[in-house]
Structure 1
């Protein structure tokens, strides 16, 4: 089975480089345009099911994808929601010197907790029996997942970038990465059990 992970379209907080986390920020006009353009690229591909995080920005993106591709309304998948950034939500991602702020505040959801619920969501989707499923989720969720599955650190995840996993009982956590942030992944970069 293939599982495609797609980051939601742009929001105003993305444009302003603010931590969003669990804050329920809708798509802006650019985000809607990104979703429609991506849906056209996905038309005719063998995706058979559509899931999304319950936050507005992912639901709006998935609804556009489902409408244009014919996949229909997305099924909410609560465990694939964005990482909570706690008291950092609404704050700038970059410090005045241009470096990225570390998400090390005590109110930020631990990486292990994000990964635990993300794998639970992937296992749920794999158990549905769909041959190929799309999940509209969040950049941090995809990046942390890729960091855990690959031997190299993942870069920032672009809005509407596609990451493709395949179920593989011999791979780390039962999933092998085939496409990361829109780029093919060499087999030797994936961890074995």
Structure 2
């Protein structure tokens, strides 16, 4: 079973460097093109289905990719929603630097909670789709934190429209690529994912 995380395409808030978090901001035209471009990146693997976060930017990205690959558009999973950034959602980089230079935003969801949701989503997708190769469209911070926990090392920012692949090995996961680039010399994650 191979899974892939795909970060949703760009939104106007991404373009404006506003912290989006769990606020439901739609794709812009660049984001829709990034979703179409992801189809070419995904070519070469027999993908069976695509699922997503319920936020509209992720769902529309998933729908565009499903159409492009001719695969099933599966359900949404609440566990795949982006990290909640509390009072900082909607703030620009300048506002954040002024009000919260330590990035300790009031109402910020803890990293451990984000990783636990990401791991729970993987287990639900695995339970729902078994050995079928499945795409998962969601959000940058959730992808980055979940993959970092699986790989036992930190990854940088996840680009809009990029693909990160990983597969199931026994009870663990092995990260194969991040931001459309192969990752080498990573062991199978010993991190519990259930």
- Report what 1:4 is aligned to: 4
Name the CA shift for 1:81/1:131 in 2 (closer, same or farther; >3 Å): same
Matches within 5 A, 1:1-193: 1-43=1-43, 45-93=45-93, 102-128=102-128, 129-169=130-170, 174-188=172-186, 191-192=189-190
TM-score (norm 1): 0.88
Deviation (angstroms), 1:59:
0.5
CA RMSD of the aligned region, Å? 2.1
Tell whether the 8 Å contact from 2:7 to 2:160 is kept in structure 1 after alignment.
yes
Deviation (angstroms), 1:93:
3.5
Show structure 1 runs of 5+ residues with no match. none
Q: Deviations over 1:116-145 (max 9, x none)?
A: 111111001111224210000000011111
TM-score (norm 2): 0.88
Counterpart CA distance in 2 for 1:102 and 1:32 is 33
Deviation (angstroms), 1:165:
1.3
Tell whether the 8 Å contact from 1:48 to 1:130 is kept in structure 2 after alignment.
no
Counterpart CA distance in 1 for 2:25 and 2:177 is 27
- Is the partner of 2:176 in helix, strand or coil? strand
Deviation (angstroms), 1:189:
5.7
Tell whether the 8 Å contact from 1:52 to 1:59 is kept in structure 2 after alignment.
yes
- Is the partner of 2:165 in helix, strand or coil? strand
Name the CA shift for 1:39/1:95 in 2 (closer, same or farther; >3 Å): same
Tell whether the 8 Å contact from 1:152 to 1:189 is kept in structure 2 after alignment.
no
Counterpart CA distance in 2 for 1:190 and 1:103 is 32
Moved over 6 A (4+): none
Counterpart CA distance in 2 for 1:190 and 1:74 is 27
How many aligned residue pairs are there? 188
